[in-house]
Amino acid sequence: MTAPMSPTSPRSEDERLVRRALAVAGDTPEGDVPVGALVVGPDGRELAAATNRREADGDPFAHAEILALREAARVLGDGWRLEDCTLVVTLEPCTMCAGAAVAARVGRVVFGAWEPRTGACGSLWDVVRDRRLVHRPEVRGGVLETECAALLEQFFRARR
- Structural domains in the chain, CATH included, are 10-152 (3.40.140.10)
DSSP-assigned states of every residue in 30-73:
TTS---EEEEE-TTS-EEEEEE--HHHHT-TT--HHHHHHHHHH
At 58-80, the pLDDT tens digits run 999 999 999 999 999 999 998 88
115 three-class SS: coil
Which residue out of 65, 92, 115, 138 is catalytically annotated? 65
CA distances to 40, 42, 48, 81 from 45, rounded to whole Å, are 6, 7, 9, 16
At 14-27, the pLDDT tens digits run 999 999 999 999 99
46 as an active site residue: the answer is no
Whole-structure pTM value: 0.92
